A and B are shown apart, each in its own frame.
Chain A
Amino acid sequence: DGGITQSPKYLFRKEGQNVTLSCEQNLNHDAMYWYRQDPGQGLRLIYYSQIVNDFQKGDIAEGYSVSREKKESFPLTVTSAQKNPTAFYLCASSRDGNQPQHFGDGTRLSIL
């Protein structure tokens, strides 16, 4: 079955450490997205990519980085510069920016 796989489901970060969240899709979608979800704040866009080797900052990109070397993969790195990284992170993909997005099951990141 086609879908989006996020791993790991739970992740813990130590102070000063960078961590990378994985997102893989086999839907052959061109566009991929990363969102951060905090209670009561809905989904906030971190980064998105419309095509391989290209990506754009979203609304809250500071302290995060991404790469898009392959169509099916869009990893997100939470750097030590992100001072409040505890949140639920969701990855999504779509054919383009106006088409429905398909979501993974999320990664919950916490601070040790």
Chain B
Amino acid sequence: AQSVTQPDIHITVSEGASLELRCNYSYGATPYLFWYVQSPGQGLQLLLKYFSGDTLVQGIKGFEAEFKRSQSSFNLRKPSVHWSDAAEYFCAVGAQKDTGRRALTFGSGTRLQVQP
């Protein structure tokens, strides 16, 4: 079965510092991959997605992610974090046809705190 692991439950960075959030997936074929962000008490907003092609994907709010097949990873990066980036971030992998599951599988999330 497909799975998504976000190893870091909580990360704190200083405003202006760079950020990398880790995501590892387990999936037999080339996956569809997503990153979402959630502010407290709100729904999730899509940051970016990877379906195929260029392994470096640009998203909204200055975020990017790189798909590395050899490492089964899809890490999210931002060169300079702003205080408004404080939120929870979720990595997700797309539906797996061979199991018949037609829904995304989400990781457990990484909570980002930004220090002034």
Using CB atoms and an 8 Å cutoff, list the residues of chain A in contact with chain B. 4, 31, 33, 35, 40-43, 45, 48, 50, 56, 58, 88, 90, 92, 96-98, 100-106, 108
Contacts and interface: CB of A to CB of B under 8 A. Distances in A.
Contacts of A102: 46
Interface residues of B, number: 24
Contacts of B95: 96-98
A103 B90 contact: no
A40 B10 CA distance: 10
B42 interface: yes
Contact of B106 (A43, A56, A98): A43
B56 interface: no
A108 B40 CA distance: 12
Given A31-B102, A90-B43, A103-B44, A42 B109 contact: yes
A105 B43 contact: yes
A41 B88 CA distance: 12
B87 to A, nearest CB: 14
**Secondary structure of the B side of the interface?**
loop
B63 to A, nearest CB: 15
B45 A98 contact: no
B49 A106 contact: no
B32 A98 contact: yes
A104 B107 CA distance: 19
A37 to B, nearest CB: 9
Contacts of A100: 34, 46, 49
B75 interface: no
B90 A97 contact: no
Nearest to A88: B41
B70 to A, nearest CB: 23
